[in-house]
A and B are shown apart, each in its own frame.
Chain A
Amino acid sequence: MFRYTKLTLVREIGVVLAALVMLSPFYILIATALKPRQALLTTPAISWPETPTFDAFREVMGEAGSSGVWQGLMNSLIITVGAVAGLVAIGSITAYVLARKLSKVSNVVYALVIAGIVVPPQLGLIPIYTSARSLGLIGSQWGMIVLYIGMIMPLSIFLYAGFVRAIPREYEEAATIDGASKFKVFTRVIFPLLAPATGTVAIMTGLVIWNDFFNALIFLQGTDAATLPVFMYGFVGSLTSRWDLIFAVVIISMIPILTFYLFAQKKFIQGFAGGIKS
């Protein structure tokens, strides 16, 4: 039953063609970024460059162009790593406490925390923005890290809590009998057992933060702490129709995340498909 037949082959060809259409924007992206500047104006947008060149990349990364790409990359990296570290450390311990204590209070608190995943952040951002402005926290990397940790904490707790519930309680008993303190039970026994959850949390929250535009735009636009998307937005606004340069920046912004994805694609896909399963 359901074997590979001639009809399946036809179906396979159809699906591959549909997938190629889906992936065609990547072709346009690369072809345009590699086109010499004159060819950009004289050849059709769907043609492959006759003489591919990395001039656009040299220009946006080099001295002559704006070195904002590098600054944006560094800022994105620092803010993402800092916030993910916080989300892992604080999220895991909080999920542990909330999921292990089987009282009514902890269930209510957990539900209230999880509700934070659905509510859009825009409304709360207004008072946060005005307080950050009066405290001088606009454009601060630390301020941004703390904001992201707080905003995305519900997701981190939700992902960790599912894994905590799956850990048998005998582990804690055994460790306590061996004389470990409560804190050691968590750091030496529970946290290592949560390693798969930590991977999922790091990937999911890291993606949200790395790709975030709305919050970064509000708090970091026009400052030295601007992340890559904010830099990109300003960069495109400053030059229209230099698609070779724009696409060079777009490709540079995609490379770190796509590299990461190709190495850990199973974990990425599981995170999106399974993180929401429980």
Chain B
Amino acid sequence: MTIKKPTAESAPPAAPHQPRPAESRAQRRFHAGDYGSWWWALPALAMVFCIHYLATAFGGYYSFTDWNGLGPATWVGIDNFVAIFNDPQMAGAVRNTLVIAIVFVVVANVIGLLFALALNRTLKSRYLLRVLLFAPVVLSSLAVSYVFRFIFAQEGALNALLEAVGLESWQRTWLADPTWAIVAIMTVLIWQNVGLTMVIYLAGLATVPQEQEEAAAVDGASMWQRFRHVVMPGIQPAVAIATTLTLVNGLRVFDQVMAMTGGGPFGATDTLATVVYRETFAFGRFGYGAALSLTLTFFVVVAAGFQLYITRRKH
């Protein structure tokens, strides 16, 4: 212990700090008040309250107004939300967000789980490959998206590869094609997050005792049966964490779209986060933008809650 005696800068040697020899150790058992002081938490609580609750509540209020950032805000009821779902571009953004998020969750988790199963044990290169495959996770998703923008560019790597293997007929301007542009954005998301899901599944697999798998194998269980009935139940918590995390990240997709397509061609790759940015901060339509934000918040909270509910129940 580094503290031997009260030093000069500590509070004046007030009575409460003096050991009271009359009391036994048991009598001196700690009261709840002895671990720090309540007010130590106040700066953080004030910040969290202002930024996460107060500001969000104000934002929620704006979504029912036509506020433009200046002047007074007029209450317009649910007009903004009606407008969102009647505007084909906004409805498209909602649909794109959901499609991207769902495909992303499924593919990123399946590939991540496959890599985790492959690199769990036995393979000699497993430590090196884990470190390399996780590397994209720590990078800026904006920077990563620029790499993929070049890969999918007209003069880019994918078309060059297709030419090299004699598949010129497959070449196209990927990011100018509404369907392929979405696929390209999903690809970046998946590529950057496979390392993350892999690491979560590896942590889950580490909790499955090898003896159980061996026992099942001795009893004649096939590889699939071992996975289905021994491994899967053991990694249920990891599945809950990885799918929820990827779902929330997928619904918030922003950087990848801004870097690769800017929402184009003709809004084909717009997502909720990109239209929130454009309407609110570029066009200054704060009321409408707040309504879009509230829609996004709604999807994220419902999705995360639903996800946790079904994965908990299975568990």
Using a CB–CB distance below 8 Å, which chain A residues touch chain B?
1-4, 8, 11-12, 15-16, 18-19, 22-23, 25, 28-29, 32, 41, 44-47, 90-91, 93-94, 96-98, 100-103, 109, 112-113, 115-116, 118-130, 133, 146-147, 149-151, 153-154, 157, 169, 172-182, 184-186, 188-189, 192, 207, 210-211, 213-214, 217-218, 228-229, 232-233, 236, 241, 243, 246-247, 250, 253-254, 257-258, 260-261, 265, 268-269, 272-274, 276-277
Contact = CB atoms under 8 A, between A and B. Distances in A.
B38 A272 contact: no
B304 to A, nearest CB: 5
B248 to A, nearest CB: 7
A4 B203 CA distance: 22
Contacts of A90: 43-44, 47
12 contacts: A28-B147, A93-B44, A118-B301, A121-B51, A122-B59, A126-B58, A126-B59, A129-B281, A169-B30, A211-B140, A265-B134, A272-B137
A174 B213 CA distance: 46
A116 B52 contact: yes
A233 B146 CA distance: 9
Given A90-B43, A96-B35, A120-B252, A19 B5 contact: no
B138 A261 contact: yes
Given A45-B150, A124-B52, A179 B18 contact: yes
Contacts of B22: none
Nearest to B292: A122
A226 B44 CA distance: 26
B24 interface: no
B110 interface: no
B277 A218 contact: yes
Given A2-B210, A116-B48, A179-B6, A44 B163 contact: yes
B55 to A, nearest CB: 3
Identify which of B3, B194, B304 gathers the most chain A CB atoms within 10 Å of its CB: B3
Given A44-B160, A181-B6, 8 more contacts: A19-B129, A28-B157, A46-B160, A118-B304, A126-B280, A179-B3, A214-B255, A232-B142
B254 A214 contact: yes
A175 B51 contact: no
B140 A253 contact: yes
Nearest to A25: B147
B138 to A, nearest CB: 5
Nearest to B10: A181
Nearest to B13: A179
B41 to A, nearest CB: 4
B221 to A, nearest CB: 13
- In this complex, the interface size class of chain B, counting residues with CB under 8 Å from chain A, is 35 or more
B76 interface: no
Interface string B126-166: 00011111110111111110111011010111011101100
Interface in B149-206: 150-151, 153, 155-157, 159-161, 163-164, 191, 194, 196, 199-200, 202-203
Given A16-B129, A94-B45, A116-B48, A184 B10 contact: yes
Which of A210, A260, A276 counts the most chain B CB atoms within 10 A?
A276
Contacts of B34: 172, 176, 182
Given A257-B138, A269-B130, A236 B161 contact: no
B245 interface: yes
B255 A128 contact: no
Contacts of A214: 254-255, 273, 277
A180 B191 CA distance: 52
A25 B214 CA distance: 38
* Residue among B146, B276, B277 facing the most chain A CB atoms (10 A cut-off): B146
Given A213-B254, A250-B147, A1 B129 contact: no
Given A32-B150, A213-B255, A277 B203 contact: yes
Interface stretch (B80-88, B99-107, B116-124, B228-236): B116-124
B140 A254 contact: yes
A122 B296 CA distance: 8
Contacts of B294: 123
